[in-house]
Chain A
Amino acid sequence: MGAHHLKTESRAAWVMVTPALLGLTLFLTLPFFLAVILSFTNLKLGSPLPVQFVGFDQFKRIFADPSFLRALANNAIFAVVVVPLQTVFALCLALVINRPLRGMTLFRTLFFMPVVFPFALIAVVWILIYAPGPNGMMNAALEVLSVGAWEARDFLHDPRSAFPAIMLMSIWQGVGFQMVIFLAGLQAIPSELYEAASVDGATKWRQFLHITLPQLRNTIIFVILVTTILAFRLFDQIQIMTHGGPNDATTTVIFEAVRSAFERQQVGRGAAMTTVFFLFVLFVTFLQRQIVKQEREIE
């Protein structure tokens, strides 16, 4: 070490990384620690009262707040319902599209298209799809499918159907993303494995069970991780379609956090909520790493 050109190389490296490090420090690391610190204060924008360190008070308060508890429950329901449905649906689509048939890229393009649409737009269009009365597209479709047995309802203003409606739309929007990741995973499986299996007399179904699924294991775990975290990031649809209502039926953690910090100026409280959210993300990520690691050790 210490050669002249290594010094110039090292200097060049620092010039190259400094802007990035600056950005990560100011706009990621700093707010991250600020989030933890603020969650232990009662900071309120525009409040004349001095900022105080309140210990775990914010956390105690939010966990006693029925709206926040409802939000947590909603996120959990969303994860429990949407993650498996969307993953299985995406995997099925990927398996079908992976077949060497004509026109498959067309279907792939179509199913992927909503991924490039801004969520705000999709939410606005689906408000119309969920329009109340027999003229609404969803109501009309269900009526046709149920041969007239369906009673038209106001999906987004009915506490029973508002959240399921948002879940359905989210699946519609998000499936393409996972499908593409699954397709990449499927294409990475060496075809010799299937050839060997079919020589060994394995049926398509057995090939799926004993080759596709194990080979896709880490992809599946990754997709589940991403979708679970996405389930807890839920915000855009809620803000645009229901604003958390009716009666908190569709509220979420991030929605509550933004409402606290932004609408009520309660920054400390909002920070506490996002800290809870982050701890959850950390937990899920850690879980995924553990499962993948175990798998690698077995291999």
Chain B
Amino acid sequence: MGSVDLRHAEKIYNDNTKAVDDVSLSIPEGEFVVFVGPSGCGKSTLLRLIAGLEELSQGEILINGVRANKLAPQARNVAMVFQNYALYPHMTVRKNLAFPLRMSHLPKNEIDRKVARTASLLGLNELLERRPKQLSGGQRQRVAMGRAIVREPAVFLMDEPLSNLDAKLRTQIRGEIALLQRRLNVTTIYVTHDQAEAMTLGDRVVVMHAGKIQQAAPPQEIFENPANTFVAKFIGNPGMNCLPATLRRDGDGAYTVDISGQPLGLKQDILIRYPRLDELIDIPVLVGIRPEAFKLETDQSALYGLTGEVVSVEFLGHETLVYFKLPPPSREPLGLSSEKGDISTYQRPSDENIAARLYKRHSLRVGDPIILGVDTDKLYFFHANGIALDRQ
């Protein structure tokens, strides 16, 4: 038993900042949900609201279908793993694990049994008589997990539990957490700022920004069908390039997308994937290109490509990240009339550099001109306000 429902949850702090803004989300029992977003997006506040460490300003929280707004943390039957683990420094590992059980007044033999079981589950048997100070970072993390598990709570809450570990250990324990969650099948809500962690761990990923849920979907869905440009840019490393562009259709019904004066022809089957593409004709849009959708054209006569200038090159061994910028448009875009659209945001070359992931050998250097082919099947379309165009 461990479902969590948020209904129009809102948290406003005394200084009138809205940390969580009208969040509704249903988490069924057993699901592993990851809240991800940049710092200050409200993900930790949301977790603390569920834990009962903060109090809702508006809306409702239901745990197991029971309204929990006014329940004290201990009454919510949730356990939390803190970023700094928050192990009690003056207690041994055994006492740390036993503390939540003592608080629920379990008989002593019951406590001993549960502590022993948790300890062997997490491989803590050798460490039971040590104090937190005598443990390594990974061991502390495991004890913090243990203290959450030992209570057999309805919901696990984890607030960036891996951020204090080095990269290698992080990957290892990430795997352990995923395995453990599957084994115990306890509803888990996990907060991180690391999109890779979110994508690998979550049954469902909740991307947050400015206190709002941007998208809540399984990792693959998040990657393949980002709901808006924020999600598109946030997921992936580097994220999707979102460039201002204009979509045009000529007399023959052929579609072209014009990015900063450089036209890319689209194949006819684009309408199958984007049946409502016609709505975007001749108005400002954003075109999304994943760095993986570029390929380096050795052949100068490439049909559809972008020409630009290399800004930086990051050689990563098996691949290279190339950042480039487009030259300003050399001519007035065709079909533009001044009463259409907002001129000021229209067709401006992007301030951000465009990232491309290349696998071929090359000898690019900063300042070099570059021509990159674009796989136009992998283009994304967004309204000027950032919302993704409906896709089949």
Q: Please report the C-alpha to C-alpha distance between residue A3 and residue B11 in the assembled complex, in whole angstroms.
A: 14
Q: Which residues of A contact B52 (CB under 8 A)?
A: 5
Q: Please report the C-alpha to C-alpha distance between residue A4 and residue B70 in the assembled complex, in whole angstroms.
A: 5
Please, which residue of chain A has its CB at the minimum distance from the CB of B69? A3
Q: Please report the C-alpha to C-alpha distance between residue A230 and residue B388 in the assembled complex, in whole angstroms.
A: 74
1/0 per position for A1-31, CB-CB distance to B under 8 A? 1011110100000000000000000000000
Q: Please report the C-alpha to C-alpha distance between residue A5 and residue B70 in the assembled complex, in whole angstroms.
A: 7
Q: Which residues of B contact A1 (CB under 8 A)?
A: 55
Which residues in chain B, 51-105, are within 8 Å of chain A measured between CB atoms? 52, 55, 69-73
Q: Please report the C-alpha to C-alpha distance between residue A6 and residue B71 in the assembled complex, in whole angstroms.
A: 10
- Rounded to whole Å, the gap between the CB of A4 and the closest CB of chain B is 4
Q: Which residues of B contact A3 (CB under 8 A)?
A: 55, 69-70
User: With contacts defined as CB atoms under 8 Å apart, how many contacts are there between chain A and chain B in the complex?
Assistant: 14
Q: Which residues of B contact A8 (CB under 8 A)?
A: 72
Q: Please report the C-alpha to C-alpha distance between residue A86 and residue B73 in the assembled complex, in whole angstroms.
A: 56
Q: Which residues of A contact B69 (CB under 8 A)?
A: 3
Q: Which residues of A contact B72 (CB under 8 A)?
A: 4-5, 8
1/0 per position for B107-127, CB-CB distance to A under 8 A? 000000000000000000000
Chain B binding surface, main DSSP class: loop
Q: Interface residues of B, CB < 8 Å — how many?
A: 7
- Rounded to whole Å, the gap between the CB of B67 and the closest CB of chain A is 11
Please, which residue of chain A has its CB at the minimum distance from the CB of B76? A5
Q: Which residues of B contact A5 (CB under 8 A)?
A: 52, 70-73
Q: Please report the C-alpha to C-alpha distance between residue A3 and residue B52 in the assembled complex, in whole angstroms.
A: 10
Q: Which of A1, A4, A5, A8 has the most CB of B within 10 A?
A: A5
Q: Please report the C-alpha to C-alpha distance between residue A12 and residue B232 in the assembled complex, in whole angstroms.
A: 48
Please, which residue of chain A has its CB at the minimum distance from the CB of B73? A5
Please, which residue of chain B has its CB at the minimum distance from the CB of A6? B55
1/0 per position for B273-287, CB-CB distance to A under 8 A? 000000000000000
Please, which residue of chain B has its CB at the minimum distance from the CB of A2? B70
Q: Please report the C-alpha to C-alpha distance between residue A5 and residue B73 in the assembled complex, in whole angstroms.
A: 8
Q: Please report the C-alpha to C-alpha distance between residue A6 and residue B72 in the assembled complex, in whole angstroms.
A: 8
Q: Please report the C-alpha to C-alpha distance between residue A5 and residue B72 in the assembled complex, in whole angstroms.
A: 5
- Rounded to whole Å, the gap between the CB of A3 and the closest CB of chain B is 5
- Rounded to whole Å, the gap between the CB of A225 and the closest CB of chain B is 35
Q: Please report the C-alpha to C-alpha distance between residue A5 and residue B71 in the assembled complex, in whole angstroms.
A: 7
Q: Please report the C-alpha to C-alpha distance between residue A8 and residue B52 in the assembled complex, in whole angstroms.
A: 13
Q: Please report the C-alpha to C-alpha distance between residue A6 and residue B69 in the assembled complex, in whole angstroms.
A: 11
1/0 per position for A190-233, CB-CB distance to B under 8 A? 00000000000000000000000000000000000000000000
Q: Please report the C-alpha to C-alpha distance between residue A1 and residue B55 in the assembled complex, in whole angstroms.
A: 8
Q: Please report the C-alpha to C-alpha distance between residue A1 and residue B54 in the assembled complex, in whole angstroms.
A: 11
Please, which residue of chain A has its CB at the minimum distance from the CB of B72? A5
Q: Which of A1, A3, A6 has the most CB of B within 10 A?
A: A3
- Rounded to whole Å, the gap between the CB of B44 and the closest CB of chain A is 19
Q: Please report the C-alpha to C-alpha distance between residue A8 and residue B55 in the assembled complex, in whole angstroms.
A: 14
Q: Which residues of A contact B71 (CB under 8 A)?
A: 4-5
Q: Please report the C-alpha to C-alpha distance between residue A8 and residue B72 in the assembled complex, in whole angstroms.
A: 9
- Rounded to whole Å, the gap between the CB of B76 and the closest CB of chain A is 10
- Rounded to whole Å, the gap between the CB of A48 and the closest CB of chain B is 61
Please, which residue of chain A has its CB at the minimum distance from the CB of B71? A4
- Rounded to whole Å, the gap between the CB of A41 and the closest CB of chain B is 48
Q: Please report the C-alpha to C-alpha distance between residue A57 and residue B237 in the assembled complex, in whole angstroms.
A: 85
Q: Please report the C-alpha to C-alpha distance between residue A3 and residue B72 in the assembled complex, in whole angstroms.
A: 8
Please, which residue of chain B has its CB at the minimum distance from the CB of A9? B72
- Rounded to whole Å, the gap between the CB of B69 and the closest CB of chain A is 7
- Rounded to whole Å, the gap between the CB of A270 and the closest CB of chain B is 48
Q: Please report the C-alpha to C-alpha distance between residue A3 and residue B54 in the assembled complex, in whole angstroms.
A: 10
Please, which residue of chain A has its CB at the minimum distance from the CB of B52? A5
Please, which residue of chain A has its CB at the minimum distance from the CB of B74? A5
- Rounded to whole Å, the gap between the CB of A1 and the closest CB of chain B is 8
Please, which residue of chain A has its CB at the minimum distance from the CB of B55? A3
Q: Which residues of A contact B55 (CB under 8 A)?
A: 1, 3, 6
Give 11 new A-B contacts, CB below 8 A, not counting A3-B69, A4-B70, A4-B72: A1-B55, A3-B55, A3-B70, A4-B71, A5-B52, A5-B70, A5-B71, A5-B72, A5-B73, A6-B55, A8-B72
A-B pairs with beta carbons under 8 Å apart, 14 shown: A1-B55, A3-B55, A3-B69, A3-B70, A4-B70, A4-B71, A4-B72, A5-B52, A5-B70, A5-B71, A5-B72, A5-B73, A6-B55, A8-B72
Residues of B within 8 A of A (CB): 52, 55, 69-73
- 6 nearest interchain CB pairs? A5-B72, A4-B70, A3-B70, A3-B55, A4-B72, A5-B52
